[in-house]
Amino acid sequence: MGQKEHKASIIERKKEVTTSLENLGLKIYEQMEKGYFPSIEMPSRSTENIYYDPNFRQFILGDRKVRRTARNIRHIRPFTQLVWAAFFSHELATQRKTSTLRDVYYSAQAYEMSFKDQQESNNIITDLETILGFSREDFNIFPEERSAVFGDLTIEYTVPGYEGKTLNLTSHPDGVMIGPALTSSEFVETSANKVIAIEKGGLFTRFIEENVHKKFNAILVLTAGQAPRATRHFIRRLNRELNLPVYIFTDGDPWGMHIAMVIISGSANAAHLRELTTPDAKWSGVWATDIVNYKLPTDPLDEVDIKRLYELQRDPRYKDPLWQREIKTFLKIKRKAEQEAFSRYGLTYIVDEYLPAKLEETK
Amino acid sequence: MAQVTFEEISASDFFYRNRDIAGFTNPSRAIFAAVRELVENSLDAAESLKIPPDIYVRLSYEEEASRETQVYRLRVEDNGIGVPPRHIPSAFGQVLFGSKYKLKQQRGTFGLGGKMAILYGQITTHQPAIVISSTGMSKIYMYKLMIDIQRNRPIILDRKVLINKERWRGTIVEFCLEGDYLRAMPKILEYFKQTAMVNPYANLTFVDPKGRLYKFTRVTKEMPDPPKETLPHPYGVDVELLQRLIHVTPYKNMLEFLRNHFHRVGEITARKFLEFANISPSKKPKKLSHQEIVRLMHMLKKFKGFLPPDANCLSPLGEELLRAGIVKELKPDFVAVHQRKPSTYAGHPFIVEVGIAYGGEIPKKGSFVIYRFANRIPLLYDEASDVSVKVINAMNWRRYKVTPDMPIAILVHVCSTKIPYKTVGKEFIADRPEVRREIANGLREVARQIQRFLTKREHVDREKRRLGVFSRYLPKIAQFSTKLAGREKPPDVKKLLRSVRKFGAEGT
């Protein structure tokens, strides 16, 4: 599957998705019509076929293919599930409905298609993503976990009942949930010149209260821990469509570091997908060196943290000198700090001092 | 000094005092043993004429006897050879009288089973037995008898002669005994079922004290050839037998004595043996001293020149009848039977027959159902000690794709002029290496056959499952792809389904 660059229009993209689903159906239909057992070829997602591509700055799938054929007794069940999932996604798209992975698992039963567990149905959806090169959000299948956005960005809805309606993302002081409706919106206009992604809800609210969006001309995105795919895709769109630089603030520990990395370079699990990464995004803090420089209150790293750091040290995504330096520093100081640690210098210190300094440093 | 008295006891008295030997151990075993002994006498009586047996057994409740036992009236009717009138009193009222003292395969053992039952009935109820019999001639004889236990003599209480207009032939025995039917019931019913299994040519009818009718109908009139009487084989003799033969022999020299009283001994063999044993061919048998008799027995066992005993005297069921019996009683999905060639142990010929059956009415109980038979008698007690069970347990069934959770029944029938029972109770066969080897070889043969069946069945099942999977999913693929493609008519999957059968087992 070639890389699908973003189409300006959300509507056009939806159309592209439905057409590719229909083409998949047609391909299978024609094979059967000719008296063959239908089969589908797709890139293998086994770990031996996942490579880090320095050009894309993300994991990609290699050339190895797997063939699913209805002729093989062990393939026919997942094959049928796959065709059903394509059919179900198409129904969702044409009826403009959305769904969740959990929902898919239950919906199958209405068609006498049984999945033995959630994992089996999730795998089938991932197969469909791999074959068509679209992510499940494009099939209107959304995750349960939600994150939020706040800032001066006007969007125009495309979901039924809201077509043409616009909304400014400063209109709600808690931020606007990045759900199916927002994900499928068009960007109309913005005065912002940067995006700041924040790991934790507390800091996100503090930033809104302290008018960070105004002071720094920024759109604020709450990742709420590891950013959901829809949020990663949304950040990418802010970066690509509006040409906004992206700065990521996380806790100062290996897990926070990796939240930033997944936004930047994606995960191995999503090696079959593009358009979820923002390679130019910057991890702005909290770094290990910040812990030292700002004399932050800390907790000791535990065994799991240290093990994780050694793993990250060998990870191709972390080969950049900045990351390697920070990993080494963590291993040296054996301490970690949360974003809230800046509060020891007063509630506004982080906004007044730390943030501008780091934005400048990682520009 | 106390006076020690020695008294001679009669055979009846002996068995009265030692009734355990014949299986009359307790009220439950006693009623089982009584039914069994009479049924077996009846089967023998019919088979000796090669008539398919028709046996009717009725057990009816008479009265309470004690807290746990009741008095029952047992009646057994058969269509057998009948007993000549002059022999009736002795045959039923005198222990150790009978027709079973020659060497051939027989069900009964001491010739006392039936009499023991009557004796037991008399001891427990003090009532006479009624015996009605006819050999199919013009008269029917009816006797009312008791046994004089001390003197081992029948006491005739009544005798009637009836005109036999219909030329009925057979024997009816009826007497009362004390027992515990409720506890004996499972064994008695199992006994009938298993007896029916190895006598598929017999009609067995049993009416129990509650009036319930159990009927086992014959599926064939084919019967095995009755066993021929035979002389003892030199390897199997003991001093006692030698002494008895010497006592009765009309022959005046050792050559003639050996030639005429032993199985498989002709003139040449007899001469060779006498030379080997350094006994003069002209020596008079009756002149042999006790030491010489003992030596003769040892030399007979040591001499390598005797041919093995002939199996003419045995009457195995045969593979056909064995199969018919198993099919009739178990209605299995598969059955394999095998008859081994005759073999010998200690001078006694024997033949092993085995069968294995799968499915049908055989229960899945986590272990095999084992049916053991000796001379066509079901062995229902002491299963764990039996040589067959030891062989079955020692076999590596996994090799034959057989697992204990399968509904499998295994049948082992040993027939011999002398079954190597381990105990006087005659409920299990001793672990003789010769017998063990024959059983093991027989079981291996049928195990190979069931393995072929199981492999084939597995293959058929797998094919069925495969087809099931394809017929479940292909139409759905057709349905969903048609809708996705926006077409009207789904593609035809019948052709694809047809080709599934031809693929064989790819993907496995």
In order of start, what are the domains of chain B with their CATH numbers? 11-216 (3.30.565.10), 234-302 (1.10.8.50), 316-453 (3.30.230.10)
Q: What amino acid occupies position B260?
A: N
Q: Which B residues 345-384 touch A at CB under 8 Å? A: none
Cα–Cα separations (whole angstroms), residue B4 to B1, B7, B10: 9, 10, 19
The number of C-beta contacts closer than 8 angstroms across A and B is 85
What pLDDT, on a 0 to 100 scale, did the predictor assign at position B166? 92
Among A29, A36, A106, A310, the one annotated catalytic: A106
CB B110 within 8 A of CB B99: no
Q: Where residue B331 falls among pLDDT bands split at 50, 70, 90?
A: very high
What pLDDT, on a 0 to 100 scale, did the predictor assign at position B340? 94
What pLDDT, on a 0 to 100 scale, did the predictor assign at position A212? 93
Query: For B411-423, what is each residue's pLDDT tens digit?
Result: 999 999 888 887 7
The CA-based diameter of chain B, rounded to the nearest angstrom, is 120
Chain B: residue whose CA lies nearest to A86:
B484
Chain B residues lying within 8 Å of A124, measured CB to CB: none
What pLDDT, on a 0 to 100 scale, did the predictor assign at position B350? 92
CB B167 within 8 A of CB B16: no
What pLDDT, on a 0 to 100 scale, did the predictor assign at position A190? 94
Chain A residues lying within 8 Å of B501, measured CB to CB: none
- Taking an 8 Å cut-off on Cβ atoms, the answer to whether B477 and A32 are in contact is yes
Q: In this complex, is the C-beta atom of B470 within 8 Å of any C-beta atom belonging to chain A?
A: yes
Kindly report which listed range (A219-228, B270-279, B304-313, B432-441) carries the lowest average pLDDT score: B304-313
Can you name the residues that pair with A53 across neighbouring β-strands? Answer: A58
What pLDDT, on a 0 to 100 scale, did the predictor assign at position B110? 46
Taking alpha carbons only, the member of B435, B366, B351 closest to residue B407 is B366
What pLDDT, on a 0 to 100 scale, did the predictor assign at position A247? 96
Q: Where residue B503 falls among pLDDT bands split at 50, 70, 90?
A: low
A5 has pLDDT over 80: no
Chain B residues lying within 8 Å of A22, measured CB to CB: 484-486
d(CA B58, CA A225): 86
B108 has pLDDT over 70: no
Tokens of B194: 């298993």
B106 has pLDDT over 80: no
Chain B residues lying within 8 Å of A35, measured CB to CB: 495-496
- Taking an 8 Å cut-off on Cβ atoms, the answer to whether A80 and B476 are in contact is yes
Q: In this complex, is the C-beta atom of A21 within 8 Å of any C-beta atom belonging to chain B?
A: yes
Cα–Cα separations (whole angstroms), residue B89 to B9, B34, B93, B150: 21, 19, 5, 16
What pLDDT, on a 0 to 100 scale, did the predictor assign at position B240? 82
- Taking an 8 Å cut-off on Cβ atoms, the answer to whether B477 and A70 are in contact is yes
Query: For A241-298, what is each residue's pLDDT tens digit?
Result: 999 999 999 999 999 999 999 999 998 888 888 888 999 999 998 999 999 999 999 9
Q: What amino acid occupies position B358?
A: Y
d(CA A74, CA A83): 15
CA distance B496 to chain A (A): 7
Q: Are strands B203-207 and B54-64 parallel, antiparallel or unpaired?
A: parallel
Spell out where B333-417 has E strands.
Answer: 334-339, 343-345, 348-358, 369-374, 377-379, 408-416
What pLDDT, on a 0 to 100 scale, did the predictor assign at position B140? 95
Q: In this complex, is the C-beta atom of A310 within 8 Å of any C-beta atom belonging to chain B?
A: no
CB A26 within 8 A of CB B484: yes
**SS3 of residue A322 by DSSP:** helix
Chain B residues lying within 8 Å of A37, measured CB to CB: 496
For CATH 3.40.1360.10, the residue range(s) in chain A are: 148-361
d(CA B304, CA A190): 116
Tokens of B91: 């045959």
A144 has pLDDT over 90: no
Chain B residues lying within 8 Å of A87, measured CB to CB: 480-481, 483-484
Return the percentage of chain B with pLDDT > 90, whole number. 53
pLDDT top residue among A160 and B6:
A160
Q: Are strands A58-61 and A148-150 parallel, antiparallel or unpaired?
A: unpaired
B2 has pLDDT over 60: no
Chain B residues lying within 8 Å of A111, measured CB to CB: 476
Terminal CA-CA length for chain B:
91
Q: Is A106 annotated in the active site?
A: yes
- Taking an 8 Å cut-off on Cβ atoms, the answer to whether B485 and A25 are in contact is yes
Query: For B21-37, what is each residue's pLDDT tens digit?
Result: 667 888 898 899 899 98
What pLDDT, on a 0 to 100 scale, did the predictor assign at position A347? 84
Q: Mean pLDDT across the stretch A90-102? A: 87
Tokens of A235: 């950040």
Q: Where residue B169 falls among pLDDT bands split at 50, 70, 90?
A: very high
Q: In this complex, is the C-beta atom of B462 within 8 Å of any C-beta atom belonging to chain A?
A: no
Chain A residues lying within 8 Å of B493, measured CB to CB: 32
Q: In this complex, is the C-beta atom of A79 within 8 Å of any C-beta atom belonging to chain B?
A: yes
B262 has pLDDT over 60: yes
CA distance B44 to chain A (A): 60
Buried b (16+ CB within 10 A) or exposed e, A196-211: bbbbbbebbbbbbebe
Can you name the residues that pair with B59 across neighbouring β-strands? Answer: B74
Tokens of B135: 């050999």
d(CA B57, CA B40): 12
- Taking an 8 Å cut-off on Cβ atoms, the answer to whether A25 and B507 are in contact is no
Chain B residues lying within 8 Å of A86, measured CB to CB: 480, 484
Q: 């018919």: which residue's tokens?
A: B324
- Taking an 8 Å cut-off on Cβ atoms, the answer to whether A73 and B469 are in contact is yes
Buried b (16+ CB within 10 A) or exposed e, B85-122: beebbbbbbbbbbbebeebebbbbbbbbbbbbbbbbbb
Q: In this complex, is the C-beta atom of A86 within 8 Å of any C-beta atom belonging to chain B?
A: yes
- Taking an 8 Å cut-off on Cβ atoms, the answer to whether B473 and A32 are in contact is no
What pLDDT, on a 0 to 100 scale, did the predictor assign at position B111? 53
Which among B491, B503, B508 is the nearest to A32, CB-wise? B491
- Taking an 8 Å cut-off on Cβ atoms, the answer to whether A70 and B473 are in contact is yes
CA distance A159 to chain B (A): 23
- Taking an 8 Å cut-off on Cβ atoms, the answer to whether A80 and B466 are in contact is no
Spell out where A91-138 has E strands.
Answer: 99-100
Q: Respond yes or no on whether the N-terminal peptide bond of residue B76 is cis (omega within 30° of 0).
A: no
**SS3 of residue A186 by DSSP:** strand
* DSSP summary character for residue A341: G
Q: 């030698």: which residue's tokens?
A: B242
Which among B481, B493, B503 is the nearest to A28, CB-wise? B481
What pLDDT, on a 0 to 100 scale, did the predictor assign at position A268? 86
Q: Where residue A2 falls among pLDDT bands split at 50, 70, 90?
A: very low
- Taking an 8 Å cut-off on Cβ atoms, the answer to whether A32 and B507 are in contact is no
Chain B residues lying within 8 Å of A71, measured CB to CB: 503
What pLDDT, on a 0 to 100 scale, did the predictor assign at position B176? 96
φ, ψ (nearest 5 deg) of residue A243: 55, 40
- Taking an 8 Å cut-off on Cβ atoms, the answer to whether B484 and A80 are in contact is no
d(CA B57, CA B205): 6
d(CA A250, CA A339): 7
- Taking an 8 Å cut-off on Cβ atoms, the answer to whether A29 and B487 are in contact is yes
**SS3 of residue A66 by DSSP:** strand
What pLDDT, on a 0 to 100 scale, did the predictor assign at position B100? 43
* DSSP summary character for residue B103: B
Q: In this complex, is the C-beta atom of A73 within 8 Å of any C-beta atom belonging to chain B?
A: yes
How many Cα atoms sit within 13 Å of B497 on the Cβ side?
18
What ipTM was reported for this prediction? 0.79
Q: In this complex, is the C-beta atom of B503 within 8 Å of any C-beta atom belonging to chain A?
A: yes
Q: Mean pLDDT across the stretch B164-173? A: 94
Q: Mean pLDDT across the stretch B219-224? A: 91
Q: Sign (positive/negative) of CA torsion B89, B92, B93, B98?
A: positive
What pLDDT, on a 0 to 100 scale, did the predictor assign at position A37? 92
* DSSP summary character for residue B233: P
Q: Where residue B508 falls among pLDDT bands split at 50, 70, 90?
A: very low
What dihedral angle (degrees, nearest 10) is formed by the CA atoms of A176, A281, A61, A101? -10
d(CA A220, CA B440): 84
d(CA A140, CA A296): 43
- Taking an 8 Å cut-off on Cβ atoms, the answer to whether B476 and A83 are in contact is yes
Helix, strand, coil percent content, chain A, rounded in steps of 5: 50, 15, 35
d(CA B79, CA B46): 6
d(CA A140, CA A158): 13
Tokens of B330: 């178990």
CB B202 within 8 A of CB B52: yes
Q: What amino acid occupies position B279?
A: I
Which among B473, B478, B484 is the nearest to A32, CB-wise? B478
What pLDDT, on a 0 to 100 scale, did the predictor assign at position A40? 93
d(CA B158, CA B16): 24
A7 has pLDDT over 70: no
Mean pLDDT computed over every residue of chain B: 87
CB A246 within 8 A of CB A260: no
Q: Where residue B13 falls among pLDDT bands split at 50, 70, 90?
A: confident
Mean pLDDT computed over every residue of chain A: 90
Q: Are strands A194-198 and A246-249 parallel, antiparallel or unpaired?
A: parallel
Cα–Cα separations (whole angstroms), residue A132 to A128, B42, B87, B478: 6, 84, 100, 20
Which among B470, B478, B480 is the nearest to A76, CB-wise? B470
Which among A28, A37, A76 is the nearest to B469, CB-wise? A76
Can you name the residues that pair with A153 across neighbouring β-strands? Answer: A190
**SS3 of residue A241 by DSSP:** helix
Chain A: residue whose CA lies nearest to B462:
A73
Other beta carbons within 10 angstroms of residue B438's beta carbon come to 24
Chain A: residue whose CA lies nearest to B467:
A73
Query: For B84-94, what is each residue's pLDDT tens digit?
Result: 888 888 888 77
Which among B466, B474, B486 is the nearest to A70, CB-wise? B474
B507 has pLDDT over 50: no
What pLDDT, on a 0 to 100 scale, did the predictor assign at position B97? 58
CA distance A83 to chain B (A): 6
CATH number of A10-142: 1.10.10.10
B396 has pLDDT over 80: yes
d(CA A248, CA B179): 95
Q: In this complex, is the C-beta atom of A37 within 8 Å of any C-beta atom belonging to chain B?
A: yes
- Taking an 8 Å cut-off on Cβ atoms, the answer to whether B476 and A26 are in contact is no
Q: In this complex, is the C-beta atom of B101 within 8 Å of any C-beta atom belonging to chain A?
A: no
The CATH number of domain A148-361, selected from 3.40.1360.10, 3.20.20.80, 3.30.465.10, 1.10.10.1100: 3.40.1360.10
B479 has pLDDT over 60: yes
